[in-house]
Amino acid sequence: MESQISINENNPGDGTQNDLIRFVDVTKIFKSGHVRNYALDKVNLSIKEGESLSIVGESGSGKSTLGLVAVNLLRINSGKILFQGKDISKLRGASLRSFRRNTQMVFQDPYSSLNPYNTIYQSVIAPVNANRQYYETLTGEKADSRSQLRDRVAEMLDLVGLTPGQNFLDLYPKKLSGGQRQRVALARSLILRPRLIVADEPTSMLDVSISAQVLNLLTKLKKDFKFSVMYISHELGTSKYISDKMAVMNLGRVVEYGSSDEITENPMHPYTDILIKSMLEVGGFRTEEPLAKIDFGQYNGGIVGCTFAHSCPFVTDQCLKERPQLERKENEHWVACFHPLGR
């Protein structure tokens, strides 16, 4: 039996059938000796079909871990991840293969994500070779003519801005710049028309102007192909530009969720407020000191109260003793705080 979408009152998103992916109380613990690090601590979130959600937060807040569990590259300790309503931990055989095709990850480093011994054609066509039947159903054409497949890959390269695509087919990655390699990575991730792209800081290793081009491209492709995006970044400007919704993470928890405009213009969590100010000042997190200081002794068994309590100007006893749950404050604006700003 396949599990149904459970509509959870505490889960940001609209809780309707058009959820593509839904995280329910997702917890991921990294253990080292006696130390238990809650990289994800009961995360509840969802992304709708065609929607883009940015995950923002300081380094170490659990953003990459969330991306990896979303595509099932990492197992969670507890909770559930539903993709198109099905628990991904229970997928086997054909349904697992379908999930893999439908969720693609674009990594930070365009230098290491392409095999240096494969031509661009070989890299982009690899997912098709591994899923021939599926590709034939998807496109309605046979995948046995090499010249036709080369044309299809060239068309895809055109779409990602490597033009003319035909000229790139037989090149090796070393001939390409970082921005061009990231375009190839996008072409490869899109060749099987996935429903979800998880992009973990995809442009952080590129120059600013190249980075802007790649983000423009991602936005354009999202419109053309209508996939959903989980965009992971510590950079507010690009996150706001690229996403409809934003989730703010602090030490493994989602502390605020809402439309990108709401979160950036009208933050309610004191952590988000400080985070945004620091992001605007330095254009990203360059500060050495974490914004949320915690007592690691207490952290070991999971934080009891609010993750930001020890650094928050509005802290009360309750914040130290009780975990604030994500609650809907306005239409689509959720915050986990006993003393939200501006209300």
DSSP codes joined into one string, 214-275: HHHHHHHHHHHH--EEEEEES-HHHHHHH-SEEEEEETTEEEEEEEHHHHHHS--SHHHHHH
CA-CA distances (angstroms) from residue 280 to 169, 203, 314? 41, 18, 22
- Six token digits for residue 72: 């099932």
Minimum CB distance to ligand ADP, residue 65 (Å)? 3
Determine, following the binding rule CB under 5 A, whether residue 44 of this chain makes contact with Mg ion. Answer: no
Q: Considering only residues 52, 64, 228, 260, which one is a binding residue for Mg ion as defined by CB under 5 A?
A: 64
Question: What DSSP character marks residue 175?
Answer: G
Determine, following the binding rule CB under 6 A, whether residue 57 of this chain makes contact with ligand ADP. Answer: yes
- Six token digits for residue 80: 């559930």
Q: Considering only residues 22, 63, 181, 245, which one is a binding residue for ligand ADP as defined by CB under 6 A?
A: 63
Q: Would you say 228 or 250 has its CB closer to ligand ADP?
A: 250
Q: How far apart are the first and last CA of the chain?
A: 45
Q: Would you say 30 or 314 has its CB closer to ligand ADP?
A: 30
Determine, following the binding rule CB under 6 A, whether residue 62 of this chain makes contact with ligand ADP. Answer: yes
Q: Would you say 40 or 312 has its CB closer to Mg ion?
A: 40
Q: Would you say 62 or 161 has its CB closer to ligand ADP?
A: 62
Determine, following the binding rule CB under 6 A, whether residue 37 of this chain makes contact with ligand ADP. Answer: yes
Closest to 194 measured CA to CA, from 90, 50, 343? 50
Determine, following the binding rule CB under 6 A, whether residue 202 of this chain makes contact with ligand ADP. Answer: no
Determine, following the binding rule CB under 6 A, whether residue 39 of this chain makes contact with ligand ADP. Answer: yes
Q: Considering only residues 44, 46, 54, 65, which one is a binding residue for ligand ADP as defined by CB under 6 A?
A: 65
H-helix or E-strand containing 330?
Answer: strand 327-330
**Distance in angstroms (rounded) separating the CA atoms of residues 335 and 248:** 9
Determine, following the binding rule CB under 6 A, whether residue 288 of this chain makes contact with ligand ADP. Answer: no
> Which residues of the shown chain bind ligand ADP in the complex (CB under 6 A)?
30, 37, 39, 57, 59-65
